């Protein structure tokens, strides 16, 4: 183990000594070294402007690294520590971040088209200062992400996919989440005044103890039924079970608009869901909603 650390210290020194335009030392480029470096400690390393496209960073510590303006297109960050890393103006198109820590990471001006974030922590200022387009790119497929206590007030986030995300105490007042996929999201204690959830899918989500005054739930899927599919010697049948609605206990729904809100059942095999209007009784009985002052039901 001691020999490994000594060897890595030499590699780290080699990387630090190279500038993007420098000649390769000992016949190796930074890219070649990084391609074979799994679980390495590169905290604080200067990699700005370098071509690192397609490289897989697995279990790597890049905390506080300077990757400003680097080409990281198609790169994979898996189980990587990117806390306080500088990724400003980096090319992150189609990059993939899985189980990666991004607390305090800077993405200002980065190209994020096609980037995928899964199970990452975005709770510590990561989204601050980003344009609506950049924020949408980061959240477009951000399943299981941590967004607790984040402020995205007023942002246009239509169509984002945040299934299973932790959004506890998030500030989304005045934000546009039209058509968003929000199944299984935790929005406990969220600020949702005037938020637009029109056409969103909210199945299994927790909206408890929030402030959703004047929010719009028009045409949103707010209730569904459990289904069980049985295949018996080629004969397929679907059993429809208990109704489940978005949890709204303790949430202020004064002025919230539920016109066209839907109760849908998915019968599997890629079939179009079977939907009907959600009712006040459903939301009260299964979502524990206080609909005093709400409209459209």
How open is the CA angle 168-172-175, to the nearest 5 degrees? 150
- What is the rounded distance in angstroms from the CA atom of residue 33 to the CA atom of residue 30? 5
241: enclosing H helix or E strand: strand 235-245
Confidence of residue 278 (pLDDT cuts 50, 70, 90): very high
262: enclosing H helix or E strand: strand 262-265
DSSP helix, strand, coil percent of the chain (3-state; round to 5): 10, 25, 60
What is the predicted pLDDT for the residue at 130? 82
Give how many domains the chain has, as a whole number.
2
pLDDT tens, 243-273?
899 999 999 999 999 999 999 987 766 678 8
pLDDT tens, 177-205?
999 999 999 999 999 999 999 999 999 99
Rounded to an integer, the average pLDDT of 132-157 is 90
One domain, residues 108 and 232 = no
Q: Please give the model's pTM, rounded to 2 decimal places.
A: 0.79
What is the predicted pLDDT for the residue at 231? 65
pLDDT tens, 7-17?
344 444 444 43
Mean pLDDT of the chain: 85
pLDDT at 288 > cutoff 90? yes
What is the predicted pLDDT for the residue at 166? 95
Confidence of residue 129 (pLDDT cuts 50, 70, 90): confident
User: Residue 267 burial by CB count (10 A; 0-12/13-18/19+): exposed, middle or buried?
Assistant: middle
Answer yes or no: are the C-beta atoms of 190 and 246 closer than 8 Å. Answer: no
Q: State whether residue 98 is helix, strand or coil.
A: strand
CA separation, residue 293 to residues 147, 176, 248, 252, 258 (Å): 29, 22, 14, 9, 11
The CATH number of residue 204's host domain is: 2.160.20.80
Say what percent of the chain tops pLDDT 90. 60
Q: Is residue 1 part of a domain?
A: no
Q: Is residue 248 part of a domain?
A: yes
Pick from 122, 146, 170: which residue ends a domain?
146
- What is the rounded distance in angstroms from the CA atom of residue 68 to the CA atom of residue 85? 9
Pick from 146, 163, 181: which residue ends a domain?
146
What is the predicted pLDDT for the residue at 233? 62
One domain, residues 156 and 295 = yes
What is the predicted pLDDT for the residue at 11? 44
Rounded to an integer, the average pLDDT of 219-224 is 96
Positive or negative torsion for Cα 282, 288, 293, 294: negative
Q: Is residue 189 part of a domain?
A: yes
Pick from 99, 125, 146: which residue ends a domain?
146
CA separation, residue 187 to residues 78, 166, 182, 183 (Å): 27, 7, 10, 11
CA separation, residue 177 to residues 6, 85, 204, 272, 283 (Å): 51, 29, 17, 22, 21
One domain, residues 138 and 158 = no
pLDDT tens, 45-71?
999 999 999 999 999 999 999 999 999
């Amino acid at each position: 183990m001691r020999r490994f650390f000594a060897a890595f210290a030499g590699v780290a020194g080699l990387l630090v000594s190279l500038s993007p335009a420098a000649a390769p030392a000992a016949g190796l480029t930074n890219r070649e070294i990084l391609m074979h470096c799994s679980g390495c400690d590169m905290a604080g390393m200067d990699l700005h402007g370098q071509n690192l496209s397609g490289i897989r960073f697995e279990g790597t510590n890049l905390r506080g690294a300077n990757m400003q303006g680097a080409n990281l297109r198609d790169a994979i960050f898996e189980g990587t520590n990117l806390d306080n890393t500088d990724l400003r103006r980096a090319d992150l198109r189609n990059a993939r971040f899985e189980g990666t820590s991004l607390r305090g990471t800077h993405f200002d001006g980065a190209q994020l088209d096609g980037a995928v974030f899964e199970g990452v922590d975005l709770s510590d200022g990561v989204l601050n200062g980003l344009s609506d387009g950049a924020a949408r790119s980061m959240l477009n497929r951000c399943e299981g992400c941590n967004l607790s206590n984040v402020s995205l007030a007023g942002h246009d986030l239509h169509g984002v996919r945040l299934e299973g995300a932790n959004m506890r105490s998030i500030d989304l007042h005045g934000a546009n989440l039209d058509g968003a996929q929000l199944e299984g999201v935790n929005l406990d204690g969220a600020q949702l005044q005037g938020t637009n959830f029109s056409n969103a899918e909210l199945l299994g989500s927790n909206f408890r103890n929030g402030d959703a005054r004047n929010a719009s739930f028009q045409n949103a899927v707010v209730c569904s039924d459990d289904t069980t599919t049985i295949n018996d010697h080629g004969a397929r049948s679907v059993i429809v079970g208990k109704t489940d609605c978005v949890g709204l206990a303790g949430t202020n729904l004064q002025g919230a608009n539920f016109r066209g809100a839907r109760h849908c059942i998915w019968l599997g095999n890629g079939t179009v869901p079977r939907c009907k209007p959600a009712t006040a009784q459903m939301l009260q009985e299964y979502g524990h909603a206080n609909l005093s002052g709400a409209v459209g039901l």
